[in-house]
């Protein structure tokens, strides 16, 4: 079964809710009867292009009997500009690949441009209530960076959510400080530090062995000077960790 590719970098986060399938399904497609080679049905708001690398989504987990009705309301409100930058709903074809498991038939994802903007995140939760898309379900919010890092909720909705919003009013965010901190750590770009070989050593460096020092750095031997050093890499070339 052909699947759409998944983005793998921070700069590609927006494409996680933009369809990569060349034959995008109409937003009005019933997710319960969609073709099996499509994992998602998408809808886009007027401001879809304003999303940032900090995009995140409200998650609504549903059994199939409720999914079509909920999605129709989310789709219409999204395209009318009443919710966030976009939304998507999983199809039956997606269920076989769902890391969350089989405890929910479908998930509706309602996206906001920046998970750090708590006022906008809450506005969208209120919009879901106003659209009658939710009445009694607790909403959970997750940044896409957390999803792309391979963090999923296991068997408990909201396990790694940074925000939740509760019925009947959906008028206040409950914030998980520890999960917010986790999300921000994940979203920070990893700095690359280059370690140059010692000036007295003109030789190139040997790729390290599997032996590591007490700090976890692999050990290797410089063929030019014969000394053994803990080595680090900038992604292409191995260098002595000491000296500049």
What pLDDT does residue 137 have?
95
Nearest Cα to Cα of residue 73 among 82, 63, 61: 82
pLDDT at 205: 46
Q: What is the pLDDT of residue 98?
A: 55
Residue-wise pLDDT tens for the chain (244 aa)? 333 333 333 344 444 455 444 567 899 999 988 888 888 899 998 887 766 778 899 999 998 899 999 999 999 999 999 999 999 999 886 665 555 555 468 999 999 999 999 999 999 999 999 999 999 999 999 998 787 766 655 544 557 899 999 999 999 999 999 888 888 887 765 443 333 444 445 444 444 444 444 445 555 555 555 555 554 444 334 444 443 3
CATH hierarchy code of domain 10-187: 3.30.760.10
Residue 88, token pair as written in the block: 């998507």
At residue 172, the pLDDT reads 97
SS3 category, 121: helix
For residue 154, how many other CB atoms are within 10 A of its CB? 12
- pLDDT score at 73: 98
CATH 3.30.760.10 residue ranges for the chain: 10-187
Whether 181 and 214 have beta carbons less than 8 Å apart is answered as no
Looking at residue 224, its pLDDT comes to 53
- The answer to whether the CB of 50 falls within 8 A of the CB of 100 is no
């Amino acid at each position: 079964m052909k699947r759409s590719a998944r983005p793998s970098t921070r700069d590609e986060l927006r494409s996680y809710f933009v369809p990569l399938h060349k034959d995008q399904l109409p937003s009005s497609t019933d997710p319960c009867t969609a073709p099996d080679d499509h994992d998602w049905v998408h809808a886009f708001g007027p401001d879809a292009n304003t999303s940032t690398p900090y995009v995140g989504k409200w998650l609504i987990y549903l059994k199939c009997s409720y999914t079509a009705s909920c999605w129709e309301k989310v789709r219409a409100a999204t395209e009318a500009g009443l919710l966030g930058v976009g939304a998507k709903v999983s199809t039956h074809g997606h269920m076989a690949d769902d890391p969350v498991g089989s405890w929910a038939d479908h998930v509706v994802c309602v996206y906001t441009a920046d998970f750090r903007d708590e006022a906008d995140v809450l506005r969208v939760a209120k919009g879901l209530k106003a659209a009658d898309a939710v009445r009694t379900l607790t909403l959970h919010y997750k940044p896409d960076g957390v999803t792309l890092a391979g963090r999923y909720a296991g068997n408990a909705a909201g396990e790694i959510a940074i925000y939740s919003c509760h019925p009947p009013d959906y008028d206040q965010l409950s914030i998980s400080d520890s999960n917010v901190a986790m999300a921000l750590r994940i979203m920070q770009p990893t700095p690359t530090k280059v370690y140059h070989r010692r000036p007295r050593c003109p030789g190139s460096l040997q790729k390290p062995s599997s032996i590591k020092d007490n700090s976890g750095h692999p050990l290797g031997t410089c063929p030019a000077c014969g000394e053994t050093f803990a080595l680090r890499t900038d992604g292409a070339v191995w260098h002595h960790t000491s000296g500049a």
